[in-house]
């Protein structure tokens, strides 16, 4: 029955286990040494990656309005996209179609893709609700401020249509000039700028927070997987691969946190939380290595579901809030061909570089 099948899926009994001693790969003391080195290495890589954009924003060429920063964000978007598609989704599919699990229902339905899709739709809902909440909150503050200011003319319909169009600054100046001749153009332009700036600020805060949720949930899984392993043959290659993995993901997340323009304390907390998640997962894995069995049906289900959710979140964030928002923006359409080419190259390079790490991690 279905109930019995689900009961088997939650079993903690290992269904297959690699005999690490037979091939000379099991060495508990050496594995523990490598795990401790991994904690230090991955922590340093994560801190370094997430700190580069945060510290660099004080430099002129790394400010959020510089061409270099736009290209760096494109690179980060490629990294996030590859993490979802190449790292998480295949791992989720492998876990949820494992021979450890009963054939029904796990191999009769593509659960990894379905869960990832639902996670993406859930992220869309959270994105929408969060944006609405913050916009209302900022709107109330602005309304209180405007009650103390002289009333100016504003056409909401015109503002909406202009803000949604991809018009170059030169063309916008031309339209504003016409409005000024008709009287009230200056006030309309000022109102539009305020609305756009607040809306963009809200979006950046939402993006940085949702993106961190997706990255952190994946970091817990990979840290736990490394921590429970007793094979130096497995831990050795993962040490280097995961260090680079955290470095690139840190750069991606740090860029989004930097652009959100949060308070220093808030940015620092988010950065540290990201950096310590994988080392913390490794430490937890070391502690429970004697009782947790990754090769059990329960372990396969937990890892597969969490990886599927992470994949859905990151693919949505990469395509909608990073790539779509930047590459279809007015700024990109008005940039010169050199900047556009650099951004496309950075996007592709980030995706390919992160994808290549899948050979080791």
pLDDT at site 342: 93
For 9, the token pair is 């899926």
Q: What number of other Cβ atoms are within 10 A of residue 347's Cβ?
A: 24
The answer to whether residue 20 scores a pLDDT higher than 90 is no
- Name which of 55-69, 201-215, 233-247, 300-314 the model is least confident about: 55-69
Q: Which residue has the higher pLDDT, 262 or 181?
A: 262
pTM (global) more than 0.75: no
Reported as a pLDDT band with limits 50, 70 and 90, residue 93 is very high
Do 319 and 83 meet the contact criterion of CB atoms below 8 Å apart? no
111 located within any domain: yes
55 located within any domain: yes
What whole-number distance in Å separates Cα of residue 322 and Cα of residue 249?
14
pLDDT at site 168: 54
Q: How many helices (H) and strands (E) does the chain have?
A: 15, 0
Q: Which domain holds residue 262?
A: 23-142+196-360
- CA-to-CA dists, residue 220 to 80, 102, 215, 337, angstroms: 16, 26, 9, 41
Greatest Cα-to-Cα distance within the chain, rounded to the nearest angstrom? 86
191 located within any domain: no
The answer to whether residue 349 scores a pLDDT higher than 90 is yes
What whole-number distance in Å separates Cα of residue 246 and Cα of residue 225?
15
The answer to whether residue 314 scores a pLDDT higher than 90 is no
pLDDT at site 247: 84
pLDDT at site 115: 94
- Name which of 34-38, 60-64, 214-218, 331-335 the model is least confident about: 60-64
Q: Structurally, how many domains does the chain consist of?
A: 1
178 located within any domain: no
- Residues 69-78: pLDDT tens digits? 788 888 888 8
pLDDT at site 343: 92
336 located within any domain: yes
The answer to whether residue 113 scores a pLDDT higher than 60 is yes
pLDDT at site 321: 77
186 located within any domain: no
Phi-psi region of 118 (alpha: psi -120 to 50; beta: other; left: phi over 0): alpha
What whole-number distance in Å separates Cα of residue 354 and Cα of residue 252?
12
pLDDT at site 305: 86
pLDDT at site 177: 47
The answer to whether residue 19 scores a pLDDT higher than 50 is no
248 located within any domain: yes
The answer to whether residue 260 scores a pLDDT higher than 90 is no
What whole-number distance in Å separates Cα of residue 316 and Cα of residue 34?
35
346 located within any domain: yes
Q: Which residue has the higher pLDDT, 342 or 257?
A: 342
The residues, any chain, with a CB within 8 Å of residue 174's CB and separated by 6 or more, are: none
């Amino acid at each position: 029955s279905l109930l019995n099948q689900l009961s088997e899926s939650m079993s903690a009994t290992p269904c297959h286990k690699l005999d690490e001693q037979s091939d000379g790969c099991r060495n508990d003391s050496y594995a523990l040494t490598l795990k401790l080195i991994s904690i230090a290495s991955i922590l340093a890589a994560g801190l370094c990656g997430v700190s580069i954009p945060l510290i660099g924003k004080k430099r002129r060429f790394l400010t959020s309005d510089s061409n270099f920063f736009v290209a760096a964000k494109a690179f980060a978007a490629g990294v996030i996209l590859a993490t979802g598609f190449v790292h998480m989704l295949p791992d989720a599919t492998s876990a949820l179609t494992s021979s450890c699990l009963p054939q029904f229902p796990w191999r009769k339905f593509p659960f990894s893709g379905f869960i990832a899709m639902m996670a993406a739709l859930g992220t869309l809902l959270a994105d929408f609700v969060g944006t609405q909440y913050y916009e209302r909150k900022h709107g109330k503050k602005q309304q209180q401020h405007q009650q103390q200011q002289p009333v100016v003319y504003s056409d909401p319909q015109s503002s909406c249509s202009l803000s949604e169009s991809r018009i170059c600054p030169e063309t916008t100046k031309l339209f504003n000039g016409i409005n000024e001749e008709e009287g009230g153009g200056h006030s309309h332009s000022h109102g539009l700028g305020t609305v756009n700036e607040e809306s963009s600020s809200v979006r950046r805060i939402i993006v940085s927070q949702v993106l961190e949720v997706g990255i952190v949930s994946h970091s817990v899984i990979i840290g736990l997987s490394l921590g429970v392993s007793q094979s130096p043959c497995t831990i050795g290659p993962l040490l280097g691969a995961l260090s680079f993995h955290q470095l690139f993901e840190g750069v991606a997340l740090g860029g989004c946190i930097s652009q959100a323009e949060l308070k220093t304390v808030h940015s620092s907390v988010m950065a540290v939380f990201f950096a310590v998640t994988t080392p913390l997962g490794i430490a937890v894995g070391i502690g429970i290595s004697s009782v947790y069995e990754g090769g059990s049906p329960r372990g396969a289900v937990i890892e597969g579901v969490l990886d599927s959710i992470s994949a859905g979140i990151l693919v949505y964030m990469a395509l909608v809030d990073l790539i779509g928002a930047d590459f279809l923006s007015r700024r990109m359409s008005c940039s010169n061909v050199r900047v556009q080419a650099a951004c496309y190259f950075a996007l592709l390079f980030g995706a390919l570089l992160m994808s290549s790490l899948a050979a080791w991690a």
